[in-house]
Amino acid sequence: MKRQPLLLALLLSPTLVFAAEGMWTLDHPPLAQMRKELGTAPDAALLTKLMRGSARIAGGCSASFVSPEGLVLTNHHCVAECVEQLSTASQDRLRDGFLAKNRAEEANCPAMEVNRLESITDVTPQVRAATKGLSGEAFSNAFNAIKAKLAADCVGSDSKTQRCDVVDLYRGGQYKLYQYHRFQDVRLAFAPEQAIANFGGDPDNFNFPRYDLDMALIRVYENGQPAVVKDYLPFRREGAAAGEAVYVTGHPGATQRSLTVAQLQALRNHAIPARLLNMAEYRGRLAQYSRSGTEQARMANSELFYLENGFKVYKGELDALNDPQLFAAKQAEEAALRRFVASRPALAKTHGQAWAAIEQALARYEPLRTLDDQLAHGKAFNSQLFQIARTLVRGAVERSKPNEQRLPEFAEAGLPTLEAELFSAAPIYPEFEKIKLGFSLEKMRELLGADAPLVKRVLGKQSPDQLAAQWIDGSKLADVALRRQLWNGGEAAVRQSQDPFIQLALSLDDEARALRKRVERELDAVVQKNAELIAQARFAMKGDSVYPDATFTLRLSYGRVEGWQEGEQAVPPFTTLGGTFERATGAEPFALPASWLNARSRLNPAQPFNLSSSNDIIGGNSGSPMVNARGEVVGLVFDGNIHSIGGAFAYDPRLNRTVAVHAGAIAETLDKVYDAQALLKELLGR
């Protein structure tokens, strides 16, 4: 796809916010601007309804409550891991789909958790007070401690249903406490065949026109019963109309719109290329492995899907950063802010050095990056079994410390989620783990060099593949009962374990922790402190007309159902069910499932299928409801167009588009393809 140059002026103007730009927090929506640009804006009741009707899936997706009995609408690709786990060699649920005929058949998704935002509280003063005057490790420790304390106090004794996170907004400009209701009993009600959920596969990912039924229905349970949900979003079968004003509520994962130029440069020159090259080669390995057999393809399916999706995202980000106009605009924007600071002596004194401090910290970090990735982040050991082992080894030590002194991922507030993952009964395939681990060990050797002390110590006289096979064949950590035993047994049990991954994690832990501490001290703490200063400078210059970078917390974006102009071609905002059959070739990934081929004559070919809108979203928004001005679900967000990827750094109103499944196509296919009458009735409130 061709990227059109951003108009430089768009980014240069310091206060102008464009139509549809922004992922706004629900306690700070730009109401006046929405009224002006959209002709409408949500009132307080609708805002509350949107907040309570929206959901977060802890693994990285969004969703909405769509019935009073706990029914939740999200994307197929947000539940694919569960669908895969429900599959066996003899029954492939990804291939065949899943429909619970009744509630008793709704199938548990062991690793899933659904969160609903209940309240937002400003805790900026508490965080500022705790870190005041500190730097380096003292800053990091105090920062982590206050966040752990605030979260733990908020959760109180009810960690089964309460979840609290301290959210860093505006990169330190504000800290807010987000309190969630937690649903840990999540069951699958419906998922279509992957062939239609992901029709067009990787080639069509981030493309539009598009023809995907990327939907799934799950249900949250409490005490063994469907959860009672008061504030759900009604589903509107008529769906979205061209030009209609629409809101998207969801949990965009991360944007980098307020990074400094030095941070963007580090991404462009180092971090993203390194990641992309690794992903590309790993992708080649998995794609070829998948070709070695049906079962191999099934085992690798979900890993390959996320990998290809991530590859396209990072590639799009690299392209955006290599767009000279975008980069020049970022430089100009930073220069304007720095001039503003320089022109106010008091501000200049306290805030003027922030940019240089970040740049210097990044330069010092650069020689550490590869070892940090491989050792501290554990990329050298790409096996679920190693992740489990590291969690057990560290958990034993950390849980014996006071909450506020722990590594943040072991803070009390996060333990229920961590335990759900650690004790997940999801299958681990030894053959596949060997492929993953062998590759990552080989890359460790390549990236650090065969003579690096870590490499020599880990590999010894063995090849990466030999070692991977030996460890995986020798480990018993696929056994959930053993994990529980080691988790409950604490440090003594862990230290006595002869499991090769436990021994590996133990042998690496001192060095890995020391490196992590060093990076926190020399890079993270410096960036956090100085990003706070830059955020304050930006508030001083722009007031509160700005929205914070995405943080996988609930945001509202507004826009219209509209296409865009791609070069000389106008792209209309809708595709139809009929168009799907024209696009189908019969060959993967453009092969339709039998259910669709059989239902063709019954389907309305003119029914809108997918649509595009000008809402500003990013990865993490998958599964978000698209609602009309009355708060009715008219679409299900599952993607953005190719230009939306550059939205990580800047929103381009001419090109950036959200892609959604039309509500009418959901109803039409539940009815005529899947005969899912009970679920359809529930969805339509009948």
Residue selected from 46, 280, 540, 629 as contacting a copy of itself according to rule CB under 8 A: 280
Nearest to 87 by CA among 300, 288, 292, 291: 300
Q: What's the number of CA atoms in the CB half-sphere (13 Å) around residue 364?
A: 15
How far apart are the C-alpha atoms of 128 and 219, rounded to whole Å?
A: 40
- The minimum distance between CB 4 and a copy of itself, in angstroms, equals 10
Question: Does residue 282 interact with a copy of itself by CB under 8 A?
Answer: yes
- The minimum distance between CB 251 and a copy of itself, in angstroms, equals 29
The residue range among 157-165, 277-285, 471-479, 652-660 that interacts with a copy of itself, by the rule CB under 8 A, is 277-285
Of 158 and 451, which has the nearer Cβ to a copy of itself? 451
Nearest to 617 by CA among 170, 64, 247: 247
Show Cβ contacts of residue 25 under 8 Å, excluding neighbours closer than 6 positions. 120, 169, 176, 547, 548, 553, 554, 555, 556
Pairing of strands 658-662, 608-613: antiparallel
Show Cβ contacts of residue 202 under 8 Å, excluding neighbours closer than 6 positions. 308, 309, 312, 589
Residue selected from 101, 132, 230, 461 as contacting a copy of itself according to rule CB under 8 A: 461
Question: Does residue 453 interact with a copy of itself by CB under 8 A?
Answer: no
How far apart are the C-alpha atoms of 637 and 626, rounded to whole Å?
A: 6
Question: Does residue 1 interact with a copy of itself by CB under 8 A?
Answer: yes
How far apart are the C-alpha atoms of 607 and 566, rounded to whole Å?
A: 24
Residue selected from 11, 34, 61, 318 as contacting a copy of itself according to rule CB under 8 A: 318
- The minimum distance between CB 586 and a copy of itself, in angstroms, equals 6
Show Cβ contacts of residue 465 under 8 Å, excluding neighbours closer than 6 positions. 434, 438, 442
Question: Does residue 571 interact with a copy of itself by CB under 8 A?
Answer: no
Sign (positive/negative) of CA torsion 331, 336, 342, 348? negative
Of 237 and 583, which has the nearer Cβ to a copy of itself? 583
- The minimum distance between CB 457 and a copy of itself, in angstroms, equals 13
Question: Does residue 207 interact with a copy of itself by CB under 8 A?
Answer: yes
Considering only residues 423 to 442 of the shown chain, the ones binding a copy of itself according to CB under 8 A are: 435, 439
How far apart are the C-alpha atoms of 441 and 196, rounded to whole Å?
A: 36
- The minimum distance between CB 290 and a copy of itself, in angstroms, equals 9
Residue selected from 421, 466, 524, 541 as contacting a copy of itself according to rule CB under 8 A: 466
The residue range among 239-247, 286-294, 492-500, 505-513 that interacts with a copy of itself, by the rule CB under 8 A, is 286-294
Question: Does residue 315 interact with a copy of itself by CB under 8 A?
Answer: yes
For residue 442, give the DSSP letter: H
Is 509 in a helix, a strand, or coil?
A: helix
The residue range among 74-82, 379-387, 454-462, 503-511 that interacts with a copy of itself, by the rule CB under 8 A, is 454-462
Of 307 and 494, which has the nearer Cβ to a copy of itself? 307
- The minimum distance between CB 200 and a copy of itself, in angstroms, equals 7
Residue selected from 125, 570, 588, 686 as contacting a copy of itself according to rule CB under 8 A: 588
The residue range among 65-73, 197-205, 482-490, 520-528 that interacts with a copy of itself, by the rule CB under 8 A, is 197-205
Show Cβ contacts of residue 140 under 8 Å, excluding neighbours closer than 6 positions. 520, 521, 524, 525
Nearest to 613 by CA among 573, 647, 648, 583: 573
Contact call for residues 227 and 70 (beta carbons, < 8 A): yes
Residue selected from 460, 481, 510, 543 as contacting a copy of itself according to rule CB under 8 A: 460
Question: Does residue 565 interact with a copy of itself by CB under 8 A?
Answer: no
Pairing of strands 185-191, 216-222: antiparallel
Of 238 and 446, which has the nearer Cβ to a copy of itself? 446
Binding mask 43-62 for a copy of itself (x = CB under 8 A): --------------------
Contact call for residues 181 and 554 (beta carbons, < 8 A): no
The residue range among 33-41, 72-80, 251-259, 268-276 that interacts with a copy of itself, by the rule CB under 8 A, is 268-276
Query: Taking CA 63 as the corner, what is the angle to CA 58 and CA 68, rounded to the nearest 5 degrees?
Result: 115
Question: Does residue 156 interact with a copy of itself by CB under 8 A?
Answer: no
How far apart are the C-alpha atoms of 525 and 430, rounded to whole Å?
A: 39
Question: Does residue 2 interact with a copy of itself by CB under 8 A?
Answer: yes
- The minimum distance between CB 331 and a copy of itself, in angstroms, equals 15
For residue 569, give the DSSP letter: E
Question: Does residue 270 interact with a copy of itself by CB under 8 A?
Answer: yes
Of 318 and 626, which has the nearer Cβ to a copy of itself? 318
Show Cβ contacts of residue 678 under 8 Å, excluding neighbours closer than 6 positions. 101, 102
Q: Using H for helix, E for strand and C for coil, what is the string for 367-422? A: HHHHHHHHHHCCCCCCCHHHHHHHHHHHHHHHCCCCHHHCCHHHCHHHHHHHHHHH
- The minimum distance between CB 281 and a copy of itself, in angstroms, equals 4
Question: Does residue 639 interact with a copy of itself by CB under 8 A?
Answer: no
Question: Does residue 450 interact with a copy of itself by CB under 8 A?
Answer: yes
Question: Does residue 288 interact with a copy of itself by CB under 8 A?
Answer: yes
Size of the site for a copy of itself (CB under 8 A): 48
- The minimum distance between CB 613 and a copy of itself, in angstroms, equals 21
How far apart are the C-alpha atoms of 574 and 605, rounded to whole Å?
A: 13
Residue selected from 204, 212, 334, 549 as contacting a copy of itself according to rule CB under 8 A: 204
In sequence order, the β-bridge partners of residue 71 are 219
Of 232 and 282, which has the nearer Cβ to a copy of itself? 282
Of 281 and 524, which has the nearer Cβ to a copy of itself? 281
Number of other CB atoms surrounding residue 96 within 10 Å:
18
Question: Does residue 322 interact with a copy of itself by CB under 8 A?
Answer: yes
How far apart are the C-alpha atoms of 91 and 303, rounded to whole Å?
A: 19
Question: Does residue 572 interact with a copy of itself by CB under 8 A?
Answer: no
Residue selected from 269, 400, 405, 485 as contacting a copy of itself according to rule CB under 8 A: 269
Count the helices and strands in the chain (H runs, E runs).
28, 21
Of 278 and 622, which has the nearer Cβ to a copy of itself? 278
Sign (positive/negative) of CA torsion 203, 209, 212, 217? positive
Question: Does residue 283 interact with a copy of itself by CB under 8 A?
Answer: yes
Considering only residues 340 to 399 of the shown chain, the ones binding a copy of itself according to CB under 8 A are: 367
How far apart are the C-alpha atoms of 447 and 315, rounded to whole Å?
A: 21
Question: Does residue 202 interact with a copy of itself by CB under 8 A?
Answer: yes
Residue selected from 107, 134, 152, 287 as contacting a copy of itself according to rule CB under 8 A: 287
Question: Does residue 649 interact with a copy of itself by CB under 8 A?
Answer: no
Of 207 and 403, which has the nearer Cβ to a copy of itself? 207
Sign (positive/negative) of CA torsion 450, 455, 457, 460? negative
The residues of the shown chain that bind a copy of itself, judged by CB under 8 A, are: 1-2, 200, 202-204, 207, 269-270, 273, 276-278, 280-289, 291-292, 315, 318, 322, 367, 435, 439, 445-446, 449-451, 459-463, 465-466, 585-588, 590
